[in-house]
Structures are given as C-alpha cells and as structure tokens.
Structure 1
Amino acid sequence: MNTTNQNMNVTKEYIDTAGHKSGMFIESTNLNNPVLLFVHGGPGFPQYAHVKASGLSWANHFTVCYWEQRGTGMSYNASTQGEITLERIVADGLEVVNHLKQKYNQEKIYLCGHSWGSLVSSIMASRQPEHFLAYIGIGQLGRHYESNRDTYDFLLETAIERGDEKAEKHIRSVKFNKGFYKSQEYRKLLGRYLNKYGGGTKREGYSSWEGMKDIIECKHYTWKERLNILKGIFSSYQALGESLANTDATVMAPRFEIPVFIVHGVYDYQTSYKEAKRFYESIDATSKQMYTFEHSAHSPFVEEQERFMEVLVGDVVGVVK
C-alpha cells in the first residue's frame, strides 16, 4: 500500500523473517534521505500511531522505518511466530536492516531504539556495527530491576510529597522484590500512579485511553492489526518479562564501534534516568553523548520535539558527516 499525504510517501510492507511475516511502515518526504530504523518499546507495543499523533517531523529528514516486532501488530501471527525471545527479535531486526539497506541502496543506516527497543537495538548495534552510521537510544534501558526500584521509590516519595495518604498506603502495601515483573499488584501500581505522577509515557501524563485512541484513529491499520497490538502487548510481556527483568544492557551491549547518542527525560521512571546514565557511563564507543531533556519523562522525542530534532539533525548527522 502506498499513499501520499502532503508530500509524505507512506509504505506499508512485509518481509519474511525466518518463515514469519514481519510488517513495517516506511515514511519519507524524500526517499534519497538517509534511512533510520526505529525499534519500538513495550515489549509488544508498536509506536507508529503515537508518533504520528504527536506530529514528529523526522520523516522530513530521514526515510523512517517503523518495524513492528514479532508477536505484535502487523507482525502478530500465533501460527508462525513461534517462541518470542530477545534473541529472536534481535535476529529479526538485523534481517529488517539488511532489507532496508538493499531496498534503498544504502551501505549503512541510522538505528534508533526506544525503551525495550533500546535494549534490542543496543544489542544489534554492538554486535554488528558495520550496518550502522550511529545508534540513538531514547528512554535507554539499563538494568530493569534497578530501574523499577527507582520507579517504586519515586511513586512512594511523590505520594508522600503530595500528601496522598491513600496512595501512600497502597504503595507501601505492595512489597517490591525480584519478582516484580510477574506481580499483578505492582503492575496495578504502575497503571494507577506512574502517569498520574508524571513519570510515565509523558510528563503531563498519557492515559491508556489516549494510547487506544491513537491506535484506533491511525488509518493505516486494519481492525485486525489494531486487535493484534492489544494481543501483542499481553503476550509479548508474558514471553519476555523474565528475560527483561534479569537483563543488564551494559553486559549485552558493552562496546559500540559507532557513535552513540543517549536521549533521556529527567522525569523518566519507566526506564529511570539513573540507569540510563549508568549505561552511558559504562559503555565504550567511538564517541558518545548523553542529552538530558529537562521537561520530559519517557518520550522526549515526542515531548520536546524541537530540541530532539536539533539533536538528531544537528548533532547526530553532524557527527556522522
């Protein structure tokens, strides 16, 4: 499917990844622009609809590929997707990279990962740097357990500061431990307070209803694909939650033979700023830079778009040139 809207070329396509059909959107105002692969978070939560609703204009400067990972959205098919693992998704991602390089006749591309996607793309960039011009990590994942410890402390401290005694009592009633990733009570805490307290998707909050609204209003999805996003959010976390909880990105991706740029909101408590900074300080790279977004939580590329584009077009492309 190809459509053009205000000089924007939008392509919806699928490729075979080890016998499974993986889908993606590709957008650009000029197909000769450098290619940027965006690796979404979750796990299992494609962000095309959210980014489109925000009005982010990076497709004016890059040919942007929004790949939907195995097990969600356009890439959900219970009969062919098999076991969903981190290694399988990394392998799929590298197949997508090869597809993009061949399709657009480019020797190297930019790689950008958000949240869970920053773990996937960190591994891709660290293992096979020959494919990439640079790596951009947004809401960079470090150690998920330690990050969630920061989250729990933030929720409790915020409840106390606000004099929210009911919330404080609720938060104290849930004991944080190594099994946090499978605790329904802990998930309820996150759902009830993280966005409310400004440490979630966006500093000013971003409700589940807003997320659903973005998906429903995204005209490029079929109703089946919209339903498969919801299925994928649940099943992907079920499959990947334990490995995510026990993974340290600095161990999985310790060395980058390309420039690295970390973009992080200071109010981010989905992947804590503290853990992102530790990741940045721990890794080796040919060059590296970390940008602190003072008015953002987990989505600085959406929350502070003008500054993000200055970093992306000015600094990232400038360094590569």
Structure 2
Amino acid sequence: MKTADQNVHVTKEYIDTDGHISGMFIESTDLNNPVLLFVHGGPGFPQYANVKQAGLAWADHFTVCYWEQRGTGLSYNASTQGELTLERIVADGFEIVRYLKKKFNQDKIYLCGHSWGSLVGSIMASRQPEHFLAYIGVGQLGRHYESNRDTYDFLLETAIEREDKIAEKHIRSVKFTKDYYKSQEYRKLLSRYLNKYGGGTKREGYSSLEGVKDIIACKHYTWNDRLNILKGIFGSYDALGETLANADAAEKAPSFDIPVFIVHGVYDYQTSYKEAKRFYERIEAPSKQMYTFEHSAHSPFVEEQEKFMEVLVEDVVG
C-alpha cells in the first residue's frame, strides 16, 4: 500500500518468531536503500504512528522496519507470546534481522534503538555485530534506577524553581526508593509533571493524549491493532518493569565491534542525559560519537529532525 502524502511504499508484514507471530511495518522510497531496523521503547509502546505523524523523512534514505515487539501491537497474542522477558525479545529481534537481510539481500543493516529499545538494541549490536553496519542509540538507556533518581530530582528542583508549591508538596510526599517501578504514586508523579516540566517525551507541547491520538489517526492500524497497543503498554510494563528497573545497559553491552552513535536530548529526564553519557563513556567500540541535542528531551529524532537526519546521512552512513 502507498501513503497518500508521500511516495513511500508501506507494507505490513508478519513472520513466525519461535511459534509466535511478530508484526512490523516496512517503509521505503527505494528498496535498494540500506535497511534500518528501529527498535521501539516502552516497553510495549510501538512508535510507528508517532514517527509518521511527526513527519520524519528517514524513509527517503533508508528502508525502515518498525518492528512491534512481542506482547504489543502487531505482535500481541496472549495465547502464544508466553512470558515476556528481555532475552526473548532480543531473540525475536535477531529473527527480524535475519528476515530483513534475506528479504532485501543485504549482508548488514543499521540498528536504531530508542529508550527501552536502546537496551534491546545495545544487547543485539554488542552480542552479534556481524549483522550490523552501526548502532544508533536515541534516548539511550544507562542505569534505569539512577536515571529515575535524576528524574525525581529534576521534578523537585523544577517545582521549587517555578514556585509551584502544590507540585513541590506532592513530589516531596512521594519517597523515591529502589522499588520505584512498583509505586503507583511515583508513576502518577511522572504522568502529572514530567511532560509538563519539559523533561518527558518532548521538550514542549506533548501530552500522553497526543500519543493516543496518533495511534487512532494511523490508517495502517486496524481497531484491533490499536486495542492491542493499549493492552501491550500495560502488560509489557507489568512483565518487564523489574527487568527495566534493574537494567545497566553498559553492563549488558560493554563492548561493540561496530561504530556506535548516541543521540540524546539535553532535557531528557525519561532516560537521563547524565546516564546516557555514562553509558557512552563506559562502552568500548572501534569508533563512537555522542551528539547532544540542545532543544530536545526524550525524542530528538522528531524534535530536531533536520539535525537528526544530518547525523544519520552524513556521519552514520557517510
């Protein structure tokens, strides 16, 4: 099928990954372009609709695969998906990679992970580099506990700076502990203040409702697909929240045999800039580069699209 607004060829495809059907969208303007696999965040939050709505034009330069991970969206099936684990999702990722390499007759592809997807992507790129030309981490995860400690401090400091007494009182009333990922009160803090204070999905003008609207507006989803995204967001966090909370990406993926590019918004407090920089400094790679996006929070690839595309086209591909 073709999108109405651009000459982008879009296909919705499914493959068997160890007895479970995994789905993806593939977009391209030229099927001879290099292939880029995008690993979404969450866990359980496919980003195809959000990236499309933002108008990111990377399909002009790449054949882009938006894989939707086991347990959500196009890959949701409660009867076959089994227990959701990081290792199972990584294994699925390699199945997707092999499918793409064969389908497009390419020896190697590019790998881009965002947020939770940067944990999955880092492990994949570190573990089996023979599949990849380069790894791009956007909103790169470092240590999730320490990142959330930074988030909590940011919320409190911002409330004080803005003299937002109600918010300050609310934030102080919620104690940050090692069990933060289980705390409904802490999650309420994030929901109420992180986007409001410009440290969440975007630096400016974002609400969770916007993300839902993008999914509803995406014509390539059926209503069942949309429902499965909502199921997947909650179910994936319930299954993987503890794994995420204890994650240290640099420990899971300490070395790479391919070039690594880290793209991070300086205002990102969903995966903190400080922790992304620590990840970058700790890893070993034949070449590595970190790019600071000065006007972005957690989504520099849509917040500063021109700069992001320059990084991809001029530096990553070269």
Query: For residue 44 of structure 2, what is the aligned residue in structure 1?
Result: 44
Aligned-partner residue type, residue 317 of structure 1 = V
Give deviations 1:99-147, integer Å, cap 9, x for gaps: 0000000000000000000000000000000000000000000000000
Task: Return the alpha-carbon distance in structure 1 between the equivalents of residues 146 and 116 of structure 2.
Answer: 15
- Tell me the amino acid that sits aligned with residue 118 of structure 2: S
Map of 1:295 onto structure 2 = 295
After TM superposition, give the deviation of residue 3 of structure 1 in Å: 2.9
Q: What is the CA deviation profile of residues 23-56 of structure 1, one whole-angstrom value per residue up to 9, with x for unaligned ones?
A: 0000000000000000000000000000000000
Q: How far apart, CA to CA, are the structure 1 residues paired with 2:223 and 2:188? A: 28
Measured in 1, the distance between the counterparts of 2:216 and 2:7 equals 24
TM-score of the pair, normalised by structure 1: 0.98
Per-residue CA deviations over 1:184-208 (Å, capped at 9, x if unaligned) read: 0000000000000000000004111
Paired letter, 1:192: R
- For residues 256-278 of structure 1, the C-alpha deviation after alignment (integer angstroms, 9 at most, x for no partner) is 00000000000000000000000
RMSD: 0.6
- Superposed counterparts of 1:262-301, under 5 Å: 262-301=262-301
Corresponding position of 1:211 = 211
1:4: how far off?
5.0
Cα deviation, residue 243, structure 1: 0.7
Instruction: Give the residue type in structure 2 aligned to 1:291.
Output: Y
Structure 1: which 4+ aligned runs deviate by more than 2 Å? 2-6
Q: Distance in 2 between matches of 1:135 and 1:32?
A: 20
Alpha-carbon distance between aligned partners in 1 of 2:260 and 2:167, rounded to the nearest angstrom: 39
Residue number in structure 2 paired with 1:257: 257
Percent pairwise identity: 84
Structure 2 match to 1:3: 2
Q: Distance in 2 between matches of 1:73 and 1:86?
A: 17
| Cα distance in 1 between the residues matched to 2:185 and 2:111 | 35
5 Å-filtered alignment, 1:77-116, equals 77-116=77-116
Task: Quote the residue 2:73 is aligned against.
Answer: 73
Shift of 1:209: 1.0
Q: Which runs of 5+ in 2 are unaligned?
A: none
Tell me the equivalent position of 1:156. Answer: 156
Secondary structure at the aligned position of 1:234 is classed as: helix
The whole-number CA distance in structure 2 between the counterparts of 1:18 and 1:80 is 10
- Given the two structures, how large is their TM-score scaled by the length of structure 2? 0.99
Question: Do structure 1's residue 243 and structure 2's residue 243 form an aligned pair?
Answer: yes
Q: Count residues in correspondence.
A: 317
* 1:154-183 C-alpha deviation (Å, 9 max, x unpaired): 000000000000000000000001000000
